[in-house]
Structure 1
Amino acid sequence: MSKSKKKTHLAWAMYDWANSVYSLVITSTIFPVYYNNVTQKDSSNDLVSFFGVEVVNTVLYSWSISFSFLVIAILSPLLSGMADSGGKKLTFMKIFATIGSVSCMGLFFFDGSNLEFGIICSVLASIGYAGSIVFYNGFLPEISDVDEYDLLSAKGFALGYIGSVILLVINLLMIEMPELFYINDGGQAARWSFLITGIWWLGFSLIPFSVLEDNPYGRIYNISLLLLGYKEIRKVINELKGKVQLKRFLLSFWFYSMGVQTVMYMAASFGDKELELPGDKLILTILIIQIVAILGSYLFAYISMKRGNKVALVCMVTIWIMICFAAYYVYTEYQFYALAFMVGMVMGGIQSISRSSYSKLIPAETVDHASYFSFYDVTEKMAIVLGTFSYGLIEQFTGSMRVSSLVLGMFFVIGLVFLLRMRFPSNKLLKV
Structure 2
Amino acid sequence: MSTFRKKGSQSMEKNTNESGSLAIPFVKNQPRILQGWAFFDWANSAYALVITVAIFPGYFLHVTADEVKILGLKISDGTLYSFSLSFAYLLIALVSPLLSGIADYGGRKKVFLRFFTTLGALACIGLLFFTDMKTLWVGVTCFILATIGFSGGLVFYNAFLPEIATEDRYDKVSATGFSYGFAGSIILLVTNLIVIQNFEWFGFSESLKAVPVAFVMVGLWWLGFAQIPLRRLPEDARHPYSRALLKRGYEEVSKTARRVLARPNMLRYLSAFFFANAGVQSVLYLASIFAEKELHFNTSNLIVLILILQVVGIGGAYLFAWISSKKGNKNAMMYMMVIWTMICVGGYVVRTGLDFYFLAAAVGLVMGGMQSLARATYAKLLPEDTPDTASYFSFYDILDKLSTVMGTFVFGLITQLSGGMRNSVLSLAVFFIISLIIMRRVVVTKEETELG
| TM-score band w.r.t. shorter chain | 0.7 to 0.9
Q: Are the structure 2 counterparts of residues 91 and 27 from structure 1 closer, same or farther at C-alpha, using a change threshold of 3 Å?
A: same
Please say if residues 21 and 163 of structure 1, whose CA atoms lie closer than 8 Å, have aligned partners that are also in contact. yes
Counterpart of 1:43 in structure 2 is none
Deviation at 1:199? 1.6
Q: Which amino acid aligns with 1:206?
A: Q
Counterpart of 1:170 in structure 2 is 191
Counterpart of 1:234 in structure 2 is 254
Please, what TM-score do these two structures have when normalized by structure 1? 0.87
Q: Are the structure 2 counterparts of residues 152 and 126 from structure 1 closer, same or farther at C-alpha, using a change threshold of 3 Å?
A: same
Work out the CA distance in 2 between the residues paired with 1:142 and 1:317: 36
Aligned counterpart in structure 2 of residue 190 of structure 1, from 192, 211, 222:
211
1:58 matches 2:58? no
Question: RMSD between aligned alpha carbons?
Answer: 2.9
Work out the CA distance in 2 between the residues paired with 1:28 and 1:158: 18
Aligned counterpart in structure 2 of residue 358 of structure 1, from 373, 378, 393:
378
Q: Are the structure 2 counterparts of residues 211 and 248 from structure 1 closer, same or farther at C-alpha, using a change threshold of 3 Å?
A: farther
Output one character per residue of 1:60-111: Cα deviation in whole Å (capped at 9) or x when no partner.
Answer: 1111111111111111012212322334444433322222121111111111
Output one character per residue of 1:237-291: Cα deviation in whole Å (capped at 9) or x when no partner.
Answer: 3333334443333212211111111111111111111112233212211121112
Work out the CA distance in 2 between the residues paired with 1:210 and 1:394: 46
Output one character per residue of 1:159-205: Cα deviation in whole Å (capped at 9) or x when no partner.
Answer: 32322111111101111102333444322321110011112122222
Please say if residues 18 and 160 of structure 1, whose CA atoms lie closer than 8 Å, have aligned partners that are also in contact. yes
Counterpart of 2:44 in structure 1 is 19
Deviation at 1:332? 1.1
Output one character per residue of 1:357-391: Cα deviation in whole Å (capped at 9) or x when no partner.
Answer: 33444456555555333212211111111111111
Work out the CA distance in 1 between the residues paired with 2:446 and 2:184: 33
What secondary structure sits across from 1:222 in the alignment? coil
Please say if residues 293 and 347 of structure 1, whose CA atoms lie closer than 8 Å, have aligned partners that are also in contact. yes
Q: Which amino acid aligns with 1:235?
A: K
Q: Which amino acid aligns with 2:29?
A: K
What secondary structure sits across from 1:357 in the alignment? helix
Q: Which amino acid aligns with 2:257?
A: I
Higher Rg of the two aligned structures: 2
Please say if residues 103 and 155 of structure 2, whose CA atoms lie closer than 8 Å, have aligned partners that are also in contact. no
- Number of aligned residue pairs: 421
Deviation at 1:405? 1.1
Please say if residues 278 and 407 of structure 2, whose CA atoms lie closer than 8 Å, have aligned partners that are also in contact. yes
1:119 matches 2:132? no
Work out the CA distance in 2 between the residues paired with 1:189 and 1:2: 49
Please say if residues 176 and 280 of structure 1, whose CA atoms lie closer than 8 Å, have aligned partners that are also in contact. yes
Deviation at 1:32? 0.9
Output one character per residue of 1:104-148: Cα deviation in whole Å (capped at 9) or x when no partner.
Answer: 111111112211111011011111112222333445566667776
What secondary structure sits across from 2:68 in the alignment? strand
Structure 2 matches for 1:292-307, cutoff 5 A? 292-305=312-325, 307=327
1:378 matches 2:398? yes
Larger displacement relative to structure 2 (320-329 or 89-98): 89-98
Gaps of 5+ in 1: 41-45
Q: Which amino acid aligns with 2:258?
A: N
Q: Which amino acid aligns with 1:25?
A: V
Q: Which amino acid aligns with 2:274?
A: W
Counterpart of 1:2 in structure 2 is 9
Please say if residues 161 and 293 of structure 1, whose CA atoms lie closer than 8 Å, have aligned partners that are also in contact. no
What secondary structure sits across from 2:128 in the alignment? helix
Please say if residues 104 and 159 of structure 2, whose CA atoms lie closer than 8 Å, have aligned partners that are also in contact. no
What secondary structure sits across from 1:55 in the alignment? strand
Counterpart of 1:278 in structure 2 is 298
Counterpart of 2:242 in structure 1 is 223
Aligned counterpart in structure 2 of residue 325 of structure 1, from 345, 355, 373:
345
Gaps of 5+ in 2: 1-7, 11-27
Q: Are the structure 2 counterparts of residues 290 and 272 from structure 1 closer, same or farther at C-alpha, using a change threshold of 3 Å?
A: same
Structure 2 matches for 1:11-90, cutoff 5 A? 11-40=36-65, 46-50=66-70, 53-90=73-110
Percent identity for Structure 1 against Structure 2: 46
Larger displacement relative to structure 2 (271-280 or 204-213): 204-213
Q: Which amino acid aligns with 1:208?
A: P
What secondary structure sits across from 1:48 in the alignment? strand
Work out the CA distance in 2 between the residues paired with 1:36 and 1:269: 8
1:134 matches 2:155? yes
Larger displacement relative to structure 2 (279-288 or 357-366): 357-366
Q: Are the structure 2 counterparts of residues 226 and 269 from structure 1 closer, same or farther at C-alpha, using a change threshold of 3 Å?
A: same
